[in-house]
């Protein structure tokens, strides 16, 4: 059970890390104030960061699927938790991968 909880924590930390990484590698928004002051705006994804983002999200998805399958295999009682947070984390990660690949 300790392994499952550790995988759960690691996958959530990876997801939070991917949100921080997403903030830094995404294209910047061109607001009116930015145009007024003539500041440069990055319109493309940062290449190295985008590859890292794919890797972190893939690891997050893999860890959450492994933890969910282990939890499913080890649960014996009706009162055991279902692990819906792991399913939602895997779905969030996969949808996030699809979002950045567009």
Length, in residues, of the chain: 102
The tokens for 54 are: 């794919």
pTM of the full structure? 0.81
Euclidean distance between CA atoms 53 and 18, whole angstroms: 6
Q: Helices 47-74 and 2-25, interaxial angle, to 10°?
A: 160
Question: Does the pLDDT of residue 75 top 70, yes or no?
Answer: no
Predicted pLDDT at 96: 92
Mean pLDDT of the chain: 86
**Above pLDDT 90, what percent of the chain?**
39
User: 7 burial class (0-12, 13-18, 19+ CB within 10 angstroms)?
Assistant: buried
């Amino acid at each position: 059970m300790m392994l499952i909880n550790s995988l759960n924590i690691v996958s959530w930390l990876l997801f939070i890390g991917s949100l921080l990484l997403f903030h830094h590698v995404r294209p910047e928004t061109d607001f009116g104030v930015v145009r007024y002051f003539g500041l440069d705006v990055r319109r493309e994804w940062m290449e190295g960061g985008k590859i890292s983002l794919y890797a972190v999200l893939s690891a997050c998805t893999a860890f959450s699927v492994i933890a969910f399958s282990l939890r499913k295999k080890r649960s014996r009682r009706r009162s055991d938790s279902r692990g819906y947070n792991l399913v939602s984390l895997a779905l969030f990660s996969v949808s996030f991968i699809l979002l950045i690949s567009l």
